[in-house]
Amino acid sequence: MDRKQLEALLKSKNIRPDAYSLYGGLPNEAYCIDGKNGVWKVYYSERGTAGSTMRFDTEAGACDYFYNWIMSDGSGK
């Protein structure tokens, strides 16, 4: 899956849009995914800091991990 598919899936599951950022940055208390130079990062942003960062070689791997992580936490609803 790519970020567009991930976004549609999150919307269909009624995950709050302010609970995540699919294009990086450091929003307060949000799950984030960011891809640069062939490296994809999934992390939780809190108080301007990226924590719990996981790295992936593919967008699909990062999106799958992101989806499973946000759904298992349940804080996005």
Question: How do residues 19-55 score in pLDDT, each as one tens digit?
Answer: 999 998 999 999 999 999 999 999 999 998 998 899 9
Q: What is the pLDDT of residue 52?
A: 87
Helix residue spans in the chain (DSSP H): 3-12, 59-73
User: Contact, 39 vs 55, CB < 8 A?
Assistant: yes
Please, what's the b/e burial string for 25-39 (b: 16 or more CB within 10 A of its CB; e: otherwise)? eeeeebbbbbbeeee
User: Scanning the structure block, which residue is given the tokens 């946000």?
Assistant: 70
Would the CA dihedral through 31, 18, 70, 3 be positive or negative? negative
pLDDT tens-digit profile of 59-74? 999 999 999 999 998 6
Whole-prediction pTM: 0.90
Number of domains in the chain: 1
CB atoms within 10 A of CB 66: 24
Q: What is the pLDDT of residue 74?
A: 66
Q: What is the pLDDT of residue 73?
A: 81
Provide the residue range defining the domain that includes 26.
3-73
